[in-house]
Amino acid sequence: MGNPIVFFILAAIAIAAAMGMLTSRNAVHSALFLVLNFATIAVLYIVLNAPFIGMVQITVYAGAIMVLFLFVIMLLGADKLGGVVGEDKWQRYLAGFLAVALVVVFGIVLAQGGGVDTGTATAIDSSPAALGMRLFEGYVFPFEVTGVLLLTSMIGVVVLGRKKRGKDA
C-alpha cells in the first residue's frame, strides 16, 4: 500500500526535519522542526490508509503538545538562552557512537531477516467506527490502564501545583 515515491519523499522530509530539530540552536526553531516532523508522520499514516490515526497525530501532537511546548518556551524565554547545548564534547562522541551502533543493529536485523516483507500486510477497515470497536472489544484493559495512568499523572500535577493553604504563591 502507498506509493513508494510518496513514501521516500515523506521519509526524506521527516528525517530532514528531525535533523533540523536536533541541530537548531534556537528552541523555537527546534519546536517548529518537530511540528514539521509530526505533520509528515501524520501524512505517512494517511498514505498507509489510516486517516483517523493521522488526524489524531496532528490534533494531539502538533495541535496540543507542541503548542504547549511553544507556550513554555515563550513564557520562560528559553529561546534566548542558547550556547548551553554542546558544551560537553564527550556527549557528542557518545551520541555519535550510539547512533552508529543503532544503524549497525538495524542492518544486522534486516540482513538476517532478509528484509521486511511488506506484501503480507492486509488492508483492514480503518474507519473510526471499526477502530473504536477494535479498541473497546479487544483492548479494553490496556486502554483503561492507560486512562488510569494519565489520570494519576493529572491528579499529581494538580496536587503539586495547588496553592498551600494560608500562604500566597
Q: Which is nearer to another protein, 87 or 137 (CB)?
A: 137
- Binding track over 67-96 against another protein, x by CB under 8 A: xx-xx--xx---x-----------------
Distance CA 47, CA 113 (A): 25
For the chain, what's the residue count? Answer: 169
Task: Tell whether residue 29 is a contact of another protein (CB under 8 A).
Answer: yes
What sign does the CA torsion over 142, 144, 145, 146 have?
positive
Contacts of 29 (CB under 8 A, 6+ apart): 20
18, 51, 78, 85: residue in contact with another protein (rule CB under 8 A): 51
Q: How many residues bind another protein (CB under 8 A)?
A: 24
10, 14, 17, 62: residue in contact with another protein (rule CB under 8 A): 62
Q: Kindly list the distances between the CA atom of residue 98 and the CA atoms of 21, 91, 93, 108, 129, in Å, as whole numbers in the listed order.
A: 18, 10, 9, 15, 42
Task: Tell whether residue 20 is a contact of another protein (CB under 8 A).
Answer: no
> Footprint of another protein on residues 123-162 (CB under 8 A)?
127-129
Instruction: Choose the stretch contacting another protein; rule: CB under 8 A; options: 27-35, 97-105, 116-124, 143-151.
Output: 27-35
Sequence-distant contacts of 62-65: CB under 8 A, at least 24 apart: 62/35, 62/38
| Cell numbers placing 154 | 493529572
**Conformation bin of residue 166: beta by default, left when phi > 0, alpha when psi is -120 to 50:** left
Task: Tell whether residue 17 is a contact of another protein (CB under 8 A).
Answer: no
Task: Tell whether residue 55 is a contact of another protein (CB under 8 A).
Answer: yes
Distance CA 47, CA 13 (A): 15
10, 14, 17, 35: residue in contact with another protein (rule CB under 8 A): 35
Which residues contact another protein by CB under 8 A? 26, 28-29, 32, 35, 51-52, 55-56, 58-59, 62-64, 67-68, 70-71, 74-75, 79, 127-129
